[in-house]
A and B are shown apart, each in its own frame.
Chain A
Amino acid sequence: MTAVAAPLTTPRQGRRQGRLRRLFSRSTVNIILVVIGLLWLLPSFGLLVTSFRPAQDFFSAGWWQAIAHPFTLTLDNYRHILQTGGIGDAILTTALITVPATLLVVLIASLAAYGLVFLRWRGRDWVLVLIVALMVVPLQMALIPVASLYRSVGLFNSIPGVVLFHVAFGLPFAIFLMRNFYTGIPKDLLEAARIDGANEWMMFRRIVLPLGKPALASLAIFEFLWVWNDLLVSLVFLSGSSHVPITVAILGQLRQFGSNIDLISTASFVSMIIPLGVFFAFQRYFVRGVLAGAVK
């Protein structure tokens, strides 16, 4: 035995090991993410392929087999749903519900949260508690009473009725989300603006709203997807209407014909691709570090 024990690894080896470990752990994470992503994408891709296949093929082979014979694919299904009109009308109905509902939720929540964070008034904390409490009220509980209310005020089977319902149930969470974001905005900024001569509206418009963009974008996407994909509320409030949203229309196809999978897959794909477009449109607002340089 020598007096000085040799270190097990030289510093250089140690550093390389560290790097290897980092590389390994990073690639492991990446692989897992890719696998999860693929698993998620697979059904959507299947839906896409199916939407281009002739109906009769559906029963003879799975969509993965169709990839091998790309020439059997056709645009017929899309032509069909556009011509029959029902689906086009349903998409329009969905849009007429989703767009106003999203805009209203974003608008009201951003203003209400301003009041909850930046204005001082009596009972403010209790209102916040009430809003948080409302978040846990299940939507299903309100369907029947609201339906009878709508019947008596003439909102049943109307698009505004559905919009109103979505707005009402979207707001608690939306206000809560915006409030939490606003609390991260330094108070100094608003005080500086106040001294600079801004009134409440100006402080909202020129300071809080621009800084709240990332949260507003997240909220808009969340709300848009939620309302776009809703089936239950429309089923309850619009089942007797001549105009139904896409989710209800697809369900109707299922029931009527049992298995016209060609139309269903095509309609589903259309119904899926629109919110995706909205998502990418808002994505550029997810800028991180919007507050950089404000304080200190």
Chain B
Amino acid sequence: MARIEFQHVDKRYSGAEGLAVNDLNLDVKDGEFLVLVGPSGCGKTTALRCLAGLEDISSGDILIGDRVVNDLPPKDRDIAMVFQSYALYPHMSLFENMAFSIRMRKAPKAEVESKVREAAQILGLEKLLDRKPGELSGGQRQRVALGRAIVRDPAAFLMDEPLSNLDAKLRVQTRAEIARLHQRLGTTIVYVTHDQVEAMTMGDRICVMRDGLLQQVGTPQELYEHPVNLFVAGFIGSPAMNFLTGRVAHDGAAAALALDGLQITLSGRAAAAARTCGDGQTLTIGMRPEHLDVATAHTSNAVRVPVLVDVVEFLGNDALLHATVGGTEVVALVPVARGVAVGDRVELAIADDLVHTFDPQTDHTLGNTAAA
């Protein structure tokens, strides 16, 4: 077990003009399950490969367990990696696949046997040990890839999108299984995914990346409630947060957001944030679909948005409304009991302390508006 630290790590691929990883600072605690998440091409895999020692870093330091590992070859970093492709040795039986790493370390025969059997038992692979990878289902191969890492008993597991080749149902199962494995072994895990749902459900903490730059690190709840910028706000949460951009209009103590042909009165924290802006300055407000509801007579302390409903998706208990306000699409998750139909004009309301505010010039969050 070990903590892992990235200190000002840059990675530039030879021939590439930009940095694949740009000044990454990240501290992974001992035993933590940290998820690196971001859209495709943002540098997650690169960061993980630098940590594994498969790529040299251009500058900065990487520490594993308080030891700078910049110049250590992968085998001396005491880490195990689960590849997106699984990378099982196709000509070896499952037993040999899992035994390979400890054989390379010259473990005595009895130890190899017992460690492989133990890992196979944890993952329910005992009966398959004589098979070759080609004779397994996708889910089983995935387990073998995990098993190969477990046998090593490393200081940290590195996993690069290990679930992306599984079908949806198996992915949900395996997600829980990896979480259980982490609880059982207590080993530090750095887990890469582009799927924010995976990140939110599995990670102790999540590190959001974009274009090689770290955006925000925090617990799933912190990211959900206090995204630092528009990107994180839009990336975390499903369905994604709604954004409305307009000009701030001050009217005495009250503040409003002027969209084309329509004024949205702001209150509470949103109004406080608006007050920091000058009159006529642009402001973006963010509203999560699950926080929006159809306004009723009793709704108070809320920001109200009049919309025209386009599409209603029935989800069982709730319905997902796709609506427009002044040309911008707004998605809202409301109880089916509200009885909203296509073509209806309704007023959506959101508790004013749940409204996020952003500066559209910098994309940064304004003030500390959203405290749930």
**A contact residues vs B (CB 8 Å cutoff):** 186, 188-189, 191-198, 202, 206-207, 210-211, 289-296
B91 and A211 within 8 A (CB) = yes
Q: Known A195-B74, A195-B80, A196-B75; judge A290-B104 contact (CB<8 A).
A: no
- What residues on B are CB-neighbors of A206 within 8 Å? 89, 100
In whole Å, how far is B190's beta carbon from the nearest beta carbon of chain A? 14
User: A192 to B81, alpha carbons, bound, how many Å?
Assistant: 7
The answer to whether B165 has its CB under 8 Å from any CB of chain A is yes
CA distance A193 to B53 in the complex (A): 13
Tell me how far the C-beta of B77 lies from the nearest C-beta in chain A, rounded to whole angstroms. Answer: 8
Counting CB contacts under 8 A, is B90 at the interface?
A: yes
Let me know if B235 is at the binding interface, CB within 8 A: no
User: Whole-angstrom distance from the CB of A124 to the nearest CB of chain B?
Assistant: 13
Provide the residues of chain B in CB contact with A192, threshold 8 Å: 81, 83, 87, 89, 148
4 A-B pairs with least C-beta separation: A293-B133, A293-B134, A292-B134, A295-B85
Distance, CA A106 to CA B80, complexed state (A): 34
Q: Which of B135-143, B257-265, B303-311 contacts A (4 or more CB under 8 A)?
A: B135-143
Interchain CA distance A259-B74 in the complex, whole Å: 70
Q: How large is the interface on B (under 10, 10 to 19, 20 to 34, 35 or more residues)?
A: 20 to 34
22 sampled A-B residue pairs with Cβ under 8 A: A186-B87, A188-B83, A188-B85, A191-B74, A191-B81, A192-B81, A192-B148, A194-B75, A195-B53, A195-B74, A195-B101, A196-B100, A211-B91, A290-B91, A292-B90, A292-B134, A293-B90, A293-B136, A294-B86, A294-B88, A295-B85, A296-B165
| A-side contacts of B371, CB under 8 Å | none
**Interface membership of B115, Cβ < 8 A:** no
Q: Does B105 belong to the interface (CB within 8 Å)? A: yes
Contact status of A194 and B74, CB under 8 A, knowing A292-B134, A293-B136, A296-B138: yes
> Taking the complex as formed, is B209 at the interface, i.e. its CB lies under 8 A from any CB of chain A?
no
* Chain B residue contacts of A293, Cβ below 8 A: 88, 90, 132-136, 141
Taking CB atoms, residues of chain A closer than 8 Å to B86 are 294-296
With contact pairs A186-B85, A188-B83 given, residues A196 and B104 touching in the complex (Cβ less than 8 Å) = yes
Nearest CB in chain B: distance from A248 CB, A: 42
Point out the residue from B75, B85, B91 that lies within 8 Å of A296, measured CB to CB.
B85
Cβ–Cβ contact B81 & A195, under 8 A: yes
Q: Check if B342 is an interface residue, CB within 8 A of chain A.
A: no
B79: interface (CB < 8 Å): yes
| Nearest CB of A to B231, in Å | 30
Q: B47 an interface residue at 8 Å Cβ cutoff?
A: no
Is B54's CB within 8 Å of the partner chain A?
yes
- Give B293-330 interface residues, CB cut-off 8 Å to A: none
Q: Which residues of A contact B105 (CB under 8 A)?
A: 197
Nearest-CB residue, chain B, relative to A194: B74
Please measure, in the bound complex, the distance between the C-alpha atom of A195 and the C-alpha atom of B149, giving whole angstroms.
10
Return chain A residues, CB-CB under 8 Å to B141: 293, 296
Interface string of B111-143 (1 = CB under 8 A from A): 000000000000000000000111110100100
